[in-house]
Structure 1
Amino acid sequence: MVGRIETLIRSNRLRLALATGMAALGLWAFAPYVTNEVGGEAYVNAPLIRMASPIAGIVATDLPPPGTAIAAARTARLVTARLLDTGPLSALKGQQAALISARDLARRQIAEIARADGRLASRSAQFGRAASARLAATTDAAREALGACEAEAAEAALQRERIEVLAEQRFATFTQRDRVRAIATATGRRCAALSDQADALAIETRAAGRGLYLAGAAMDAPYGDQQRDRLLLRRQELESVAIDAESRLAELGIQIAAEEERLARASAFDARLPAGTVVWSQPAPKGTTVAPGASLIELADCNRRYVEVALPERRMEAILPGTPVAVRLIGSDAWLEGQVASTVGAAARREGAMLAANPDKEARALSVLVSLPPPKSLARRCDVGRLAEVRFPRW
């Protein structure tokens, strides 16, 4: 048995197969470095979202600590104001209360004027009916008196004619004739006066039918109608006051809403924490007082993470944006599909103030930024700062 094993080991075929296998294994191991350009220095990075306080106040004590993953977007209170100046709002509300009182008072007075106007209208109607009835009765009495006077005038005329005939025949004295003439003349004048009075009453009756009352030519409308005219002017003044108060109240409502919104913003600072981020740092400790503009929290945007890899400057022309690359994080066996986002020359100015990872070294090579897909889990802080192996296709 031992002889067979020794013979097998000393076999040229076995030695040739082993050498061929080792050579194939070496070629397989070095093939990726031949067909691809492998970045020497590569690490995962992500931009930072910095949230600053717009107000002066106290940092909230329930801020999420560094390393907290924000899987879903949510709102968090970052700062609470200490003191607020509510004087302007109180002044505006005082003006609003005064205008509301003035408007309500004007409306109540308008309602009272409407009720008084109704009462005066009823009184005026009753007065008109009574005045018309009185004028009708007076007119009828004047016509009756005129009729009686005309009858007396006719009788006086007949008496005068008889006395005239008797006086011519010397059967009546001239004194009787003169007395009868005087009686007839007086009766005719009294009838003329009664006729004029009847005509005047007829004119007054027609005027009363149109709402004009000629009571001795002293006025053309009853007292109730005159009072209604004064109430109409007062009601117009009150309506102007109410309309002006309404317009000013509308303007004050807009000012009060704006002031309340300003106080709401000044009382606390609530920020929307976007999804797919990780709390990277808290420059302001919890419970401390901060001024406007102070940095409160920094979030690493895992949705925009990328790998920064250094390559020789001679590869500048070959690496173009959009080139697909293969990325493997050190310690992981999975390969990720990335894409070249941009390239930065060795002497180009770099701004790293808002980046999660900032290596303390000066790279003197071509810097290529390779975008990565969003991570499946935020538990490892998006793998920011983790070293990676990046392979670029040579051809």
Structure 2
Amino acid sequence: MAGFFEDIIRSNRLRLAFATGMAALGLWAFAPYVTSEVGGEAYVNAPIIRMASPIAGLVATDLPAPGTAIVVERTARLVAARVRDTGPLAALKGQQAALIAARDLARRQIAEIAAADHRLASRSARFGQAASARLTATTHAAEEALGACEAEAAEAILQRDRVEALAAQRFATFTQRDRLRALAAASARRCGMLKDQASALAIETRAAGSGLYLAGAAMDAPHGDQQRDRLLLRRQELESVAADAEARLAELAVQITSEEERLARASAFDAVLPAGTVVWSQPAPKGTTVAPGSSLLELADCRRRYVEVTLPERRMEAVLPGAPVKVRLIGSEDWLEGRVASAVGAAARRDGAMLAANPDKDARALSVLVALPPPASLARRCDVGRLAEVRFPRW
């Protein structure tokens, strides 16, 4: 048995096979450094989203603890105000109540004026009908009186003429003649007066048909129409008051809405925690008082995580944005497909954005940022700060 093992060990074929295997193993281990450029120092990083308080108040006691993964976007109350200044809102609502009362009063008065105008219009119509009927009757009576007067005047003229003929023949006295002459003249004047009265009544009747009622040679309107004119002016004033109140109410409604929104913002700070992030730190302890601008939460944005790798400056021309890169996190057997996001020279100013990981940067190294796909799980804080192996294609 010992001779068998000795023959195997001293076998030239076995020795050649072992030497060939060792050489192949060495070539296999060294092949990645020939076909690819392997980054020297690489680590996973992610930008920080800082939540700052816009108001003064107390930090909420149910803030998510550091390391909490925000899988689904949600809204969280971060700060609650201790006091609320509701004075401006109360003043605006007081002005609103006063304007509403003034507007409603003006509308009620307009409705009452409309009812009174309807009553006055009805009364004016009845007055016009009655006045027209009275004028018609008076005109008819004046025409009848004028007709009777003209008949009497004609009779008086006949008697006068007859007595004058008798007086010329000495059958009647001159006194009788003079008396009948006076009676005829008086009848003519009375008929003329009645004729003028009838003409005046005709003019007044025509004016009444146009809505004008003449009294003592002065043009006048019924009292109801005069009252309606005054009510019209008052209604226009009230409509102006109501329209002005309505316009000011619309403006106040906008101001009240804006003030309520301001109070809502001042009474509490509700922030939207985006999905795909991890609570990185909590600078303000729960239940403490903070001032405006104080940092409350810092979230690592795992959706934009990347690997920062250092390369020699001579590789600057070979690294192109968008080029595919293979990345393997130390401790994992899986290779991730990444792409070059940017390459920054050694003397370039470093990005001032807040980052989750901030190791010292080699002053003579080329910094390359390789974008990674979003992590499948946020349990390990999306692997921020974890070292990685990065391989760039050499050709």
Establish whether TM, by shorter chain, passes 0.5.
yes
Pairing 1:84-163 to 2, within 5 Å after superposition: 84-163=84-163
Alignment of 1:76-91 (within 5 A): 76-91=76-91
Q: How does 1:31-110 map to 2 (within 5 A)?
A: 31-110=31-110
| Residue of structure 2 in register with 1:388 after alignment | 388
Matching residue's letter, 1:333: E
Worse-matched range after superposition: 293-302 or 256-265: 256-265
The equivalent residue for 1:235 is 235
TM-score of the superposed pair, with normalisation by structure 2: 0.96
Work out whether residues 53 and 296 of structure 1, in 8 Å CA contact, stay in contact via their aligned partners in 2: yes
Q: What residue number does 1:250 align with? A: 250
Whether the 8 Å CA contact 2:47–2:353 is kept in 1: the answer is: no
Deviates more, 1:297-306 or 1:252-261: 252-261
The 8 Å contact of residues 36 and 394 in structure 1, kept in 2 or not, is answered as yes
C-alpha distance in 1 between matches for 2:24 and 2:168: 184
- CA offset digits 1:216-262 (Å, max 9, x no partner): 23551111111111111111111111111111111111211111111
The one-letter code matched in structure 2 to 1:216 is G
- Offset at 1:129? 0.6
What is the match of residue 181 of structure 2?
A: 181
**Partner SS, residue 214 of structure 2:** coil
Residue 304 of structure 1 and its aligned partner are, at CA, apart by: 1.1
* Cα distance in structure 1, aligned partners of 2:84 and 2:232: 49
Equivalent residues of 2:347, 2:363 under 8 A apart: no
**Amino acid in the other structure paired with 1:67:** G
Partners of 2:320 and 2:170 lie apart in 1 by: 160
Residue 23 of structure 2 is aligned to residue 23 of structure 1: yes
CA RMSD in angstroms comes to 1.7
Q: Which moved more, 1:169-178 or 1:5-14?
A: 5-14
Supply the AA of the counterpart residue of 1:385. G
Please say if 1:261 is aligned against 2:261: yes
| Aligned amino acid, residue 136 of structure 1 | T
Offset of 1:353 from its aligned partner?
Answer: 6.2
Alpha-carbon contact 2:276-2:301 (below 8 Å) kept: yes
Report the equivalent of 1:10: 10
Q: Which residue of 2 aligns with 1:293?
A: 293
* Residue identity in the other structure for 2:75: T
CA distance in 2: counterparts of 1:316 and 1:211, whole angstroms? 103
Query: 2-side partners of 1:357 and 1:140: how far apart?
Result: 116
For the pair 1:213 / 2:203, whether they are aligned, the reply is no
Aligned length: 395
- Local SS of the residue matching 2:215: coil
Cα distance in 2 between the residues matched to 1:135 and 1:368: 112
TM-score (norm 1): 0.96
Question: In the aligned structure 2, how far is the partner of 1:280 from the partner of 1:354?
Answer: 12
Displacement after TM superposition at 1:74 (Å): 1.6
Tell me the distance in 2 between the aligned counterparts of 1:347 and 1:132: 110
In structure 2, distance between residues paired with 1:95 and 1:262: 19
Aligned to 1:359: 359
2:272 aligned partner:
272
Give deviations 1:32-66, integer Å, cap 9, x for gaps. 12222222221111111111111111111111111
State the 1:320 CA deviation: 2.8
Render the CA deviation track for 1:274-294: whole Å, top value 9, x for unaligned.
121111111111111111111
Q: Per-residue CA shift, 1:46-103, capped at 9, x if unaligned? A: 1111111111111111111111111222211111111121111111111111111111
- Whether the aligned pair in 1 keeps the contact of 2:44 and 2:388 (CA below 8 Å) is yes
**1:315 corresponds to which letter in structure 2?**
R
Q: Distance in 1 between matches of 2:182 and 2:36?
A: 155
* Superposition deviation, residue 5 in structure 1: 4.1
State the secondary structure of the residue aligned to 1:143. helix
Separation of aligned partners in 1, 2:292 and 2:56: 5
The answer on whether the counterparts of 1:352 and 1:358 sit within 8 Å (CA) in structure 2 is no
CA distance in 2 between counterparts of 1:158 and 1:308 reads 143
- How far 1:9 sits from its partner (Å)? 3.2
Residue type at the aligned position of 2:327: V
1:85-125 deviation line (CA, Å, top 9, x unaligned): 11111111111111111111111111111111111111111
Alignment of 1:335-374 (within 5 A): 335-351=335-351, 354-359=354-359, 364-374=364-374
Whole-Å separation in 2 of the counterparts to 1:177 and 1:316: 152
Distance (Å, rounded) in 1 between the aligned partners of 2:387 and 2:230 = 94
CA shift for structure 1 position 364: 4.2
In 2: Cα distance, 1:321 partner to 1:152 partner: 131
Which is further off, 54-63 or 8-17? 8-17
1:44 and 1:384 in contact (8 A); partners too:
yes
User: Are the equivalent residues in 2 in contact too, given 1:102–1:245 (CA < 8 A)?
Assistant: yes
Matched AA of 1:52: A
Looking at structure 2, the residues matched to 140 and 29 of structure 1 have their Cα atoms a distance apart, in angstroms, of 139
- Which AA in structure 2 matches 1:174? F
Question: Residue 264 of structure 1: CA displacement?
Answer: 1.4
Contact 1:142 1:197 in 2 (8 A): yes
Structure 1 residue runs of 5 or longer lacking an equivalent are: none
